[in-house]
Structure 1
């Protein structure tokens, strides 16, 4: 087997991140470059696909600078999911990408959702999941209705990862997990579902496995000739990059949103979470919240203090001091409640509270949202989570990791490589290139633990109280938020 240098790239919600790894999982070089999200009107959230491709090309150039030809064995990509690019015959975008935060297709989603039975959902997706505004069929129907000329010009409907692969190699490909919501348990597109929006089926890329070839990087680009693999969407790349591959293992990715995935070969369909089809021998029950790191970023902007400064304030504060209760529903909420009308709240403020108290409340509120999600995942999986591996930018804060361990009542293993999606993409590339015989072998060799956070028993009563009140507050505010959403003047 080859001694690999591998590149993993993640086209995330806010930036492109990339790393050059050696055979022991050490990060030799890293790259990160942010890009904006445009919000031209209420409910819209768009990105320029050229922002992705230009940064991917720059990442490849910087990571390979000075290396001998062939030193990099393979390149893998992952990306945000439920972000969609409509591509013309010439391979160029027809409009800005519609991101997962975009709610413009809510009306179309509701119409499509009403046409799918609970039995069909469970048969296809393993759980009674809704078709929401981020579903590719809802997006396709929206474009077909509102910009029919662009729909007529559309050749491909793609995720960011697959669009970047197209630009790098000329290959049209997608993995089944990126296409989740359009596939069934056999990992194939569902004709009956696609028929709900005539014309979609012929615009979808062919499906390939995570480690299957997606061609080689084209001449004239950095690392030209280097093999690429189809890769996986962010949650699955993160799962692989955390090493959560066996029943009972749980990944926890803290980025813009919190993504939790529990591996279990048993299924008990539960509302609000995804029971993915078995892929690569892994059955993942997973769900994303809407605002994890996004909540801290919001507070940072509000207070004028950097997230790291806010975290340091919490580290110096009294963990038993009363804090407000925070709902992190700044743009609605996803798993497990899927309530687009939900809104954030601080409750219990008094004049003595300052930035440290508000930050602790944000940390606790986000942790509460994950505890609610974990309960749904354990119901779906029919078993408890026994091992937590954590990564993502939000995992860099020691106080936040401790609060999460306290709230969940479980030890949390923080990984040395926080960009688990980047590492997962590199692992898949290494397996596809023949550097490793299997995904588990690659994960065992490349994943390194940084620190273990144990729950503090003295905080059990406090976090249980906060969690119960968190759910009660959401229920109490739900009628108000629903009424508020009905008034466009708000």
Structure 2
């Protein structure tokens, strides 16, 4: 059975659902990917959880049509965070899912964060982490005040993967790793924090080990139940998917947002970085930004074009071209500045520039946001990784990858597989179901890299000159951008 078994990895991403079937060696046997809509209205950024399940229904039908369903022996699910579903006791959504990019709760977050002392932060998290607009507690406080009827009907507040697992198995559970900023160093929800919101503690899900079985489901075309793992958030699943699993390893994930991370048992409290409670012997320091691939997608919509066309135009520019600076804060910014009212900004535009120059500035600006994030991670972890293991759809372009390497001043090693999140989720599920003894074994043949990028001296010199202006430009524009954000 073990050699014939297949594992299904599912990633409920920010823009699409991916469902990939792997064999026990980690080779891809079937892949499904489908985008679904996101509704944006100012600070509001919402999704309909029913769209996730509709995509999965079609994915399951495709797996059944290929005759693979009977061989599926375990299912692993990962997802975007901090996106929250306010559900009733049966799991029915009482409100559209509030995505991680949504900043409606920024006032509630600021008010709640102001009640937390530095001593409490360090005692709870071991690092000076706070409550921002994407935090579960801030969303709860906002919902209680803004929509009391929804809050009254809510039995649980769930992450996308946890809600989907509930739909498949009937079990409404989560894991302590995915609840970053809500769970303390002891692996439990921070009782003192949620006690500050009436009724919040009663709406928290049960926490289980990520490598445990949450429940079972029966796929179309199969005649027996399949175990579904409790699983992990996208950053951790993708971390395993790109082979980061040891002290000193570093990752760079790119999709809608950019997620850099470092494994280090050393924790030096540093502003801006997130530090996860130790799990599986690993302490992850992470610094997710807000708009990575989202910035490029915005520019493509603006010029009614596609990424490949823009990349070709950027590649044709002379390396010594004019300086143009872009702050990629189109929906505020997360790490390391945690400013929900930050706004996207071009500085240095002149009449001789066109969309190619603007596109290069966007690519460089995203890379500079990651460099700023890595600076916080270096301080937090006491390390400086020279080589970054990279994965995600944002690494498809050689042009952008070279810009990233030039800006970061580090080597980038790109994963061969297309879907590190689904791969990591599947590997964890194989362990949870007892099909593999551990993650190292599950991923031994699955993780490989197809290209390494190193800084180019000419590009690196340009990057240094621009990066020296990046943080000062944000500080100089901050008051104006905050005033403009307040008008929306």
What is the TM-score of this pair, normalised by structure 1? 0.96
| Cα deviation digits, residues 290-341 of structure 1 (max 9, x gap) | 1100110011011111012111222233223224111111111110001112
| Cα deviation digits, residues 416-463 of structure 1 (max 9, x gap) | 113211111111111112232211222222112111111112332211
How far apart are the structure 1 equivalents of 2:268 and 2:37?
40
Partner of 1:432: 432
| Cα deviation digits, residues 38-95 of structure 1 (max 9, x gap) | 12x4311111110011112221221343325541121100111011111112321111
Q: Equivalences for 1:263-274 in 2 at 5 Å?
A: 263-274=263-274
Greater CA drift, 105-114 or 78-87: 105-114
Q: Quote how far apart the aligned CAs of 1:210 are.
A: 1.3
How far apart are the structure 2 equivalents of 1:348 and 1:48?
39
Q: Quote how far apart the aligned CAs of 1:22 are.
A: 2.1
Partner of 2:205: 205
| Cα deviation digits, residues 146-167 of structure 1 (max 9, x gap) | 2222222211110110000000
Native 8 Å contact 2:2 2:24 kept in 1: no
Q: Quote how far apart the aligned CAs of 1:28 are.
A: 1.9
Partner of 1:157: 157
Partner of 2:338: 338
How far apart are the structure 2 equivalents of 1:470 and 1:204?
40
| Cα deviation digits, residues 106-143 of structure 1 (max 9, x gap) | 22212211111111112222321221121111111222
Q: Equivalences for 1:68-467 in 2 at 5 Å?
A: 70-218=70-218, 225-467=225-467
Native 8 Å contact 2:21 2:30 kept in 1: yes
How far apart are the structure 2 equivalents of 1:402 and 1:24?
31
Partner of 1:32: 33
| Cα deviation digits, residues 352-390 of structure 1 (max 9, x gap) | 322222211111111101000001001000111243111
Native 8 Å contact 2:64 2:220 kept in 1: no
How far apart are the structure 2 equivalents of 1:440 and 1:136?
32
Secondary structure of the residue aligned to 1:33 is strand
Partner of 2:19: 18
How far apart are the structure 1 equivalents of 2:220 and 2:415?
36
Native 8 Å contact 2:67 2:221 kept in 1: no
How far apart are the structure 2 equivalents of 1:336 and 1:480?
20
How far apart are the structure 1 equivalents of 2:419 and 2:68?
26
Secondary structure of the residue aligned to 1:239 is helix
* Alignment size in residue pairs: 487
| Cα deviation digits, residues 155-192 of structure 1 (max 9, x gap) | 11101100000000111210112222221111111221
Secondary structure of the residue aligned to 1:55 is helix
Cα 1:20–1:323 shift into 2, 3 Å? farther
How far apart are the structure 2 equivalents of 1:114 and 1:352?
47
Native 8 Å contact 1:2 1:434 kept in 2: no
Secondary structure of the residue aligned to 1:109 is helix
Cα 1:219–1:327 shift into 2, 3 Å? closer
- Root-mean-square deviation (CA), in Å? 1.7
Secondary structure of the residue aligned to 2:463 is helix
Cα 1:437–1:219 shift into 2, 3 Å? closer
Native 8 Å contact 1:37 1:45 kept in 2: yes
Secondary structure of the residue aligned to 1:445 is coil
Cα 1:377–1:347 shift into 2, 3 Å? same
Cα 1:59–1:428 shift into 2, 3 Å? same
Native 8 Å contact 1:333 1:339 kept in 2: yes
How far apart are the structure 1 equivalents of 2:44 and 2:339?
17
Cα 1:55–1:69 shift into 2, 3 Å? closer
How far apart are the structure 1 equivalents of 2:108 and 2:326?
32
Secondary structure of the residue aligned to 2:389 is strand
Secondary structure of the residue aligned to 1:390 is strand
Native 8 Å contact 1:278 1:284 kept in 2: yes
How far apart are the structure 2 equivalents of 1:349 and 1:150?
46
Secondary structure of the residue aligned to 2:180 is coil
How far apart are the structure 2 equivalents of 1:328 and 1:117?
31
Greater CA drift, 320-329 or 296-305: 320-329
What is the TM-score of this pair, normalised by structure 2? 0.96
Greater CA drift, 418-427 or 476-485: 476-485
How far apart are the structure 2 equivalents of 1:356 and 1:42?
28
How far apart are the structure 1 equivalents of 2:265 and 2:250?
13
Which runs of no fewer than 5 residues in structure 1 stay unpaired? none
Native 8 Å contact 1:126 1:276 kept in 2: no
Partner of 2:9: 8
Greater CA drift, 412-421 or 259-268: 412-421
Greater CA drift, 295-304 or 456-465: 456-465
Greater CA drift, 145-154 or 66-75: 66-75
| Cα deviation digits, residues 246-265 of structure 1 (max 9, x gap) | 12211111111101111111
How far apart are the structure 2 equivalents of 1:446 and 1:200?
41
Which runs of no fewer than 5 residues in structure 2 stay unpaired? none
